[in-house]
Structure 1
Amino acid sequence: MDVRVDPKLLELLVCPLTKGRLTYDAKAGELISEKAKLAYPIRDGIPIMLVSEAREIKD
């Protein structure tokens, strides 16, 4: 997939659930919240920061 997102935008974004830091997974095109165990999708270069749209990360 390899989605591009503005690095400055990534610095500003936090998990809406935990308010914690997010990690960018370019290969999957997702922003990862380790604390909430959620992966937020990026569609057309736009992070979708809705918990209802996030994918649950299984251990």
Structure 2
Amino acid sequence: MAADGRDGRKATVDPKLLELLACPLTKGPLTWDPERSELISRVAKLAYPVRDGIPIMLPSEARTISPEDVLPPQPRLGGPS
């Protein structure tokens, strides 16, 4: 079970915050991976960590993900598309 790394609790991201955040490199959407506490940019193939509930949106802090690591598409949270 992945945790945010500090107090052993799982990190979460507010759905409204997820709607506002974008990948700093591609400006594209991000999806939440609750198992690893990361925000995933499928286009950039990067996973941005979330520590203590705070997204670390620095490409230098992101983990490169391989095509097999990319999660299947998930619907974005929010209103009608």
- Give the TM-score range, shorter chain: over 0.9
Larger radius of gyration: 2
Deviations 1:19-59, CA, capped at 9 Å, x for gaps: 00000001110000000000000000000000000000012
Q: Are 1:24 and 2:24 an aligned pair?
A: no
1:52 to 52, 60, 64: 60
Q: Is the 8 A contact 1:15 1:33 kept in 2?
A: yes
- CA-based RMSD of the aligned residues comes to 0.8
Does residue 40 (structure 1) correspond to residue 21 (structure 2)? The answer is no
What is the TM-score normalised by the length of structure 2? 0.70
Q: Could you list the runs of 4 or more consecutive aligned residues of structure 1 that deviate by over 4 angstroms after TM superposition?
A: none
Higher helix share: 1
Structure 2 unaligned runs (5+)?
4-9, 68-81
Q: Distance in 1 between matches of 2:26 and 2:57?
A: 12
TM-score (norm. length: structure 1): 0.94
Residue type of the partner of 1:46?
I
Which structure dedicates a bigger proportion of its chain to strand?
A: 1
Number of equivalenced pairs: 59
Identity across the alignment (%): 69
Equivalent position SS for 2:50: strand
